[in-house]
Amino acid sequence: FTSLLHLSGTSEEVTPPLQQSFMIPKKEINMVSDMAKWKRSQAYADYMGFILTLNEGVRGKKLTCEYKVSEPIEKLVALLNTLDRWIDETPPVDQPSRFGNKAFRTWYAKLDQEAEKLVATVIPKHLADAAPEVAVYLKESVGNSTRIDYGTGHEAAFAAFLCCLCKIGVLRVDDQMAIVFKVFNRYLEVMRKLQKTYRMEPAGSQGVWGLDDFQFLPFIWGSSQLIDHPNLEPRHFVDENVVNENHKDFMFLECILFITEMKTGPFAEHSNQLWNISAVPSWSKVNQGLIRMYKAECLEKFPVIQHFKFGSLLPIQPVTS
């Protein structure tokens, strides 16, 4: 990640990378046998490096703690606030089917149209050429407008969007905590609102055997936040009172709260995997297990990765180092 943030440093004016030629990212994984290409790619190495660096960056830290908030972080939050406002401006329509409200397509069309402009508000003038490339990941991060569904592949596109902003030097090493606590957390709030408002279907959900219908990363980073907590253990997150009292500090508990709001019945039945995780003795074990599970269940699954797009910032080429 330090290599991703090769432009970090104290100088405010970042020198543009030498003649970087940007490109519109495109699909490269067309059949199951292409998965090997993905696992060897620079994109996979950089993506995973980014996830793990942030995992370390938030370790033992509360959402409410003090951290630096740079101007690009503020601008990303403003971008997400705009998406949120568009939901208010696009109420669900009356339709016979309960799920997959077609108003989502109207909302999405607006993002599709405005994405490059939105991204241009976050990146400095001398990097304007990067906007079309980076904007693709933003558009991919909010769900599919044909199927009106959302899943971990869309979430991965948002992480890739942030990773690209690091690679072009817009976000820096000292933005780590703000990337997760301010930007990613705000993204989650907007996604939950989309999921609720338009009754989106889970994309490629494994039903009761998956971790969660929609997200994965906040469980990884959220479990890292809880490592070495003096009194909250994994067994406590299935306790309603513990969740109610602590969810504002911990992303993991925020996720649990959302699940219990959306689902009825005993927790052990609707969220079996999480129930099993509550029996793991320590948060560091939970965190390691979730990272392994993320690779296996999301990043190494063809139905998820076939939609991932590759460009100049996240290249399909094999790792060079």
pLDDT in tens, 120-164: 999 999 999 999 999 999 999 999 999 999 999 999 999 999 999
Q: Are residues 199 and 113 in the same domain?
A: yes
The answer to whether residue 229 is domain-embedded is yes
Q: Is residue 34 one of the residues assigned to a domain?
A: no
Q: Using 50, 70 and 90 to split pLDDT, how confident is the model at 210?
A: confident
What value does the mean pLDDT of the chain take?
93
Dist CA 58 CA 33 (whole Å): 36
Does 161 lie in the same domain as 76?
A: yes
pLDDT value at residue 276: 96
Q: What is the mean pLDDT of residues 246-275?
A: 96
Calpha distance 160→25 (Å, rounded): 11
| Structural domain total, the chain | 2
Could you give the percent of the chain with pLDDT greater than 70? Answer: 93
> Could you tell me if 290 and 198 lie in one domain?
no
Domain that holds residue 249: 207-295
On whether both 48 and 162 belong to a single domain, the answer is yes
Of 83, 72, 180, whose CA–CA distance to 127 is shortest? 72
Residues 114, 166: one domain?
Answer: yes
Residues 282 and 192 in one domain: no
> Sign of torsion, CA 76 79 84 87?
negative
If asked whether residues 47 and 176 sit together in one domain, one would say yes
Outline where DSSP puts E strands in the chain. Answer: 26-27, 149-150, 201-202, 309-310
Q: Is residue 23 part of a domain?
A: no
**3 falls within a domain:** no
- On whether the CB atoms of residues 112 and 164 are closer than 8 A, the answer is no
pLDDT of residue 11: 41
- The DSSP-derived string for 27-58 is E---SGGGHHHHHHBHHHHHHHHHHHHHHHHT
Task: List the structure tokens of 31.
Answer: 């059949």
- Indicate whether 193 and 258 sit together in one domain: no
Residue 9 lies in a domain: no
Binned at pLDDT 50, 70 and 90, residue 13 comes out as very low
Rg of the chain over CA atoms, in angstroms? 19
User: In angstroms, rounded to a whole number, what is the distance separating the alpha carbons of residues 247 and 226?
Assistant: 12
Residue 157 corresponds to which tokens in the numbers above?
Answer: 């596109």
- What confidence score (pLDDT) does residue 115 get? 98
Instruction: From 252, 222, 219, 256, select the one nearest 240 (Cα to Cα).
Output: 256
* pLDDT above 90 for 109: yes
Which residues have a Cβ under 8 Å from the Cβ of 71 and sit 6 or more positions away? none
Take residue 14 and report the two structure tokens written for it.
């970042």
Residues 6+ apart with CB under 8 A from 188: 215, 218, 251, 254
Tokens of 204: 């490629």
In the structure, what pLDDT confidence band is assigned to residue 206 with cuts at 50, 70 and 90? low
Give residue-wise pLDDT tens across range 156-201.
999 999 999 999 999 999 999 999 999 999 999 999 999 999 999 9
Residue 11 lies in a domain: no
The count of residues in the chain is: 321
Residue 39 has pLDDT above 90, yes or no: yes
Mean local confidence (pLDDT), 210-223? 95
- Prediction pTM value: 0.94
- 189 three-class SS: helix
Same domain, 158 and 240: no
Q: Is pLDDT of 25 > 90?
A: yes
Helices and strands per DSSP (H, E), number in the chain:
15, 4
Beta-carbon contacts of residue 290 (< 8 Å; ≥ 6 apart): 211, 216, 219, 220, 223, 277
Q: Is 231 contained in some domain?
A: yes
